Amino acid sequence: MSERAAIFVVDDEKRMCESLKALLQPRGYEVTAATSGTEALQIIGQKNYDLFLLDICIPDHDGFSLMEHILNRLPDTPVIMMTGEASVDSAVKALREGAYDYLKKPFETEELVKTIDNALRQKMLQEINQEMEDRLRTSEKRFRFMVQNSPDMIYTLDARGRFTFINNAAEKLFGYRSTDLVGRSYQTMLYETDLDKACWRFNERRTGKRATTAFEVRLKPGPRKESEIGRLSDFAVVELNATGVYRRAGTRKELIGTYGVARDKTFRKILETQLLQAKKIEALGNLAGGIAHDFNNLLMGIQGIVSLMLFKVEAGNPFISQLKTVEQYIQDGAGLTRQLLTFVRGGALEIQPTDVNTLLQKQNQLFGRTRKAIRITEKLVPNVLPIEADPSQIEQVLLNIYVNAGHAMPDGGELHVQTENILLTEKSVITRSTSLKPGRYVKITISDTGIGMDESTLQRIFDPFFTTKKLGKGSGLGLYSAYGIIKNHGGHIRVVSKEKSGTTFMIYLPATEKKIIASVMAPPSRVLGRETILLVDDEDKIREVCREGLKLLGYSVVVAESGERAIEIYKKMANDIDIVVLDMIMPGLSGKETYLHLKQINPSVRVLIASGYSLDKDGTDIIDSKHCPMIQKPFRIEKLSLKIQEMMSKSST
């Protein structure tokens, strides 16, 4: 309503119209008058009026019909009826049809002004009330939208812990519709082992002595929730923030309800578990790497001496078989350190394009021959994408999983093996909950029909030294080793299992566009040479046995005990040295730094990397970007010679 109220007077007596103008205008009202219904109808639509004063008896229009027309167009505008022929019936009719009030002519000025003021005040109050209702409706709509579209579950409980409201997030996150829960206790959603903790917090609010704020509980998945979060699929982890609503009952507070917010922390818990697992593996990997490095160097010294003895003894010597046995022990020891090396950065030692189907078929045949009570079914995609992997390590992963499946099915069962090519995107669940990057992967699925695992076992299945077998029956390193191998190959391994429902392992390995090269038969074991070799190693015994062995095969050998000494020698003899055999892990100048210095002296230098330690990122980068071959300690002198000749053959073509 405007500051100066606009009043429209309709009366067939012109003097009456003039009198009302003279009466009302000095009081701050803006007055418009019409002396006929026709004139009034023409003026009404030209302006917004705050109040109408209508005479009932108008020659060309009935006052009631004119009022009906006004109220149809302006339902909130008050109409005051006037007449000199008043009757109870006409007054009742006027009020019944929507008039604010009814005045009988002649009326007192104070009566008229009071009636007009009351009508305008009521109109103003109605407008204010309508504005408040509109604001409240808008606010309610806004907050309802915010609550219903919140990513968190928002809820209210009554004093007995029964849901009185729950938003749409409950269904999106946990599979519960509001109609499933309203009127039911909050305990219906809780994981069984968290009931006591949640009830204790709820009773805190009942007494009004709340001491805790947010806390975590686990919720059971609702009937409409599909499992999609791997090994935590039996429950969802939520952080609850709740506040009690109280009313005063004398000197004490009485709980009348609770409102709260539940935030889904499931994926965060998965990532925390994976981070903790990764830190465990990193710590043990660093320890394992140091042990493996020293142990492999020790084995290398023994292998070198054995190789020298085999060179020098004559055919038919009875000690040859014993020396071959020692060599086998050396290889067995190297196999043990290979498992330790798996947990160090870049633990995959001999990366090459690999056919997963071939590895699985080989493993299926071997396992099938030893466990005939277990039926193996294959569903291998025909055109499986190649992966870049160390085949021996992937075989070790498969062996560990197969062995565990065998233990889970002591009386026989079924083992289902499947491969598929998949494309992971940023929206894929597995990429959102793991460190996998979007791209093409080969997925290996191995399922058994064994006894399965409970939740506590499933949570620790990849922990080092964790085993459910009796003392002396298992080391607890099998699946730990598998986890480390897959992580070092840039992949991911997850497990889904329930008691009496079997176990499923899912392995994701990055695909490659590189072609698989068919293996060829190795040439005769003893390969002679006449090249000059610079042998760089910080271990005295390794330098000695390698130098003597290579000399027996016809090579000229120059040795260096450090990177600094190697650079000094190479500066003087760069034109004479054909190949540098370089250890990667040395005190002082590291293998990579030595390599870079050699490249500055001679960009075409040929380097063969030899290490008793799994390559770190620096070593892997050299192999990948500079096409440097590698030989893993402990190695036979014949294998070293073969590697040297392969390098010379490639450089000459």
Decide if pLDDT at 474 tops 60. Answer: no
Quote the percentage of the chain above a pLDDT of 90.
Answer: 16
How high does pLDDT run on average in the chain?
81
Decide if pLDDT at 295 tops 60. Answer: yes
Among residues 397, 348, 396, the alpha carbon closest in space to that of 508 is found at 397
Q: What is the mean pLDDT of residues 362-389?
A: 89
pLDDT at 471: 35
How far is Cα 68 from Cα 554, in angstroms, rounded to an integer?
122
Decide if pLDDT at 386 tops 90. Answer: yes
Q: Which residues contact 265 (CB under 8 A, 6 or more apart)?
A: 216, 237, 238, 239
The structural domains of the chain, ordered by start, are: 6-129 (3.40.50.2300), 153-264 (3.30.450.20), 272-341 (1.10.287.130), 356-510 (3.30.565.10), 532-652 (3.40.50.2300)
Decide if pLDDT at 559 tops 90. Answer: yes
pLDDT at 509: 94
Decide if pLDDT at 100 tops 50. Answer: yes
pLDDT at 229: 39
DSSP of 241-273: EEEEEEEEETTEEEEEEEEEEEEE-HHHHHHHH
How far is Cα 571 from Cα 593, in angstroms, rounded to an integer?
15
Q: What is the mean pLDDT of residues 30-42?
A: 87
In what side-by-side order are the strands of the sheet with 163-166? Answer: 163-166, 153-158, 252-264, 236-249, 215-219
Determine which of 270-274, 328-332, 385-389, 426-430 has the lowest per-residue pLDDT on average: 270-274
Decide if pLDDT at 475 tops 50. Answer: no
pLDDT at 439: 92
pLDDT at 210: 56
Residue 146 banded pLDDT, cuts 50, 70, 90? confident
pLDDT at 572: 92
Determine which of 311-315, 319-323, 505-509, 626-630 has the lowest per-residue pLDDT on average: 626-630
* Residue of 282 and 586 predicted with greater confidence: 586
Decide if pLDDT at 339 tops 70. Answer: no
What residue ranges in 547-617 does DSSP mark as E strands?
556-560, 579-583, 607-611
Decide if pLDDT at 43 tops 70. Answer: yes
pLDDT at 566: 92
* Residue of 194 and 231 predicted with greater confidence: 194
pLDDT at 47: 84
pLDDT at 326: 86
* Residue of 509 and 370 predicted with greater confidence: 509
pLDDT at 613: 62
Whole-prediction pTM value? 0.46
How are beta strands 492-497 and 413-424 bridged, if at all? unpaired
Decide if pLDDT at 227 tops 50. Answer: no
How far is Cα 389 from Cα 387, in angstroms, rounded to an integer?
6
Decide if pLDDT at 15 tops 80. Answer: yes
Max mean pLDDT among 153-167, 454-468, 608-622 falls in 153-167
pLDDT at 377: 93
pLDDT at 215: 78
pLDDT at 473: 41
Decide if pLDDT at 517 tops 80. Answer: no
Eight-state DSSP code of residue 470: P
Q: What is the mean pLDDT of residues 181-209?
A: 76
pLDDT at 261: 86
Residue 615 banded pLDDT, cuts 50, 70, 90? low
pLDDT at 578: 93
- Sign of the four-CA dihedral 536, 540, 541, 546: positive
* Residue of 518 and 650 predicted with greater confidence: 650
Max mean pLDDT among 83-97, 402-416, 472-486, 521-535 falls in 402-416
pLDDT at 346: 46
* Residue of 487 and 623 predicted with greater confidence: 487
Q: What is the mean pLDDT of residues 41-69?
A: 85
Residue 256 has phi, psi (to 5 degrees) of -115, -5
Express each pLDDT in 120-138 by its tens digit: 888 888 888 888 888 888 8
Q: What is the mean pLDDT of residues 531-539?
A: 92
Q: Which residues contact 551 (CB under 8 A, 6 or more apart)?
A: 557
pLDDT at 470: 44
Among residues 209, 203, 229, 210, the alpha carbon closest in space to that of 218 is found at 229
Max mean pLDDT among 165-174, 284-293, 402-411, 426-435 falls in 402-411
* Residue of 321 and 526 predicted with greater confidence: 321
Express each pLDDT in 565-588 by its tens digit: 999 999 999 999 999 999 888 888
Quote the percentage of the chain above a pLDDT of 70.
Answer: 87
